Amino acid sequence: MKKNILVLCTGNSCRSQIAHGYLKYFATDKADVYSAGIETHGVNPKAIATMKEDGIDISGHTSNLISEYEDLPFDFVITVCDNAKENCPYFPSTAKKFHHNFPDPAKAVGTESEINEEFKFVREQIKMYCRQFVDENLSSLS
């Protein structure tokens, strides 16, 4: 049976969007993946570009508020930043909750090249986390 996964971040612009892309990729048909924020900042163009470099297109993603999904029954809720974990409004759910605080690549400073490297660094961390999450939580589903 297909699972519903919600990925939460502060602005639903970088980390949660990247995780959304990888979870969808690794879970294939085992899960429907959603991402949201406690605010919306729009999908960061550098997040789109860094994912495209790895062959995953998130250019069609939108930045959504968590309140848009309060009626969906989630099996898993993953927070990808401490701010979202601490400030996420409560909504009734029997979902299993997971948390991993990834650095925010949108806050990277330096040259264009240094900022791009930070996006790639965070992307690789999120990619490893998502692969492991799917292996541990969805691999037994047919």
Q: Mean pLDDT, to the nearest integer, of 123-133?
A: 98
Confidence of residue 139 (pLDDT cuts 50, 70, 90): confident
88 is catalytic: yes
Q: At which residue do the structure tokens 């892309």 appear?
A: 21
Confidence of residue 120 (pLDDT cuts 50, 70, 90): very high
9 is catalytic: yes
Q: Which of 81, 106, 122, 126 is catalytic?
A: 81
14 is catalytic: no
**pTM of this prediction?**
0.94
Taken in order of first residue, the domains within the chain and their CATH numbers are: 3-137 (3.40.50.2300)
Q: What number of other Cβ atoms are within 10 A of residue 124's Cβ?
A: 13
Tell which residue, 133, 128, 114, has the closest CA to residue 46.
114
Check if the beta carbon of residue 138 is closer than 8 Å to that of residue 76.
Answer: no
Q: Is the pLDDT score of 78 beyond 70?
A: yes
Q: Which of 5, 6, 7, 9 is catalytic?
A: 9
Q: What number of other Cβ atoms are within 10 A of residue 49's Cβ?
A: 13
Check if the beta carbon of residue 50 is closer than 8 Å to that of residue 19.
Answer: no
Tell which residue, 111, 61, 68, has the closest CA to residue 91.
68
Check if the beta carbon of residue 17 is closer than 8 Å to that of residue 45.
Answer: no
Q: Which of 88, 126, 134, 138 is catalytic?
A: 88
Confidence of residue 93 (pLDDT cuts 50, 70, 90): confident
Residue type, 3: K
CA distance 140 to 142: 6
Confidence of residue 88 (pLDDT cuts 50, 70, 90): low
Alpha-carbon radius of gyration of the chain: 14
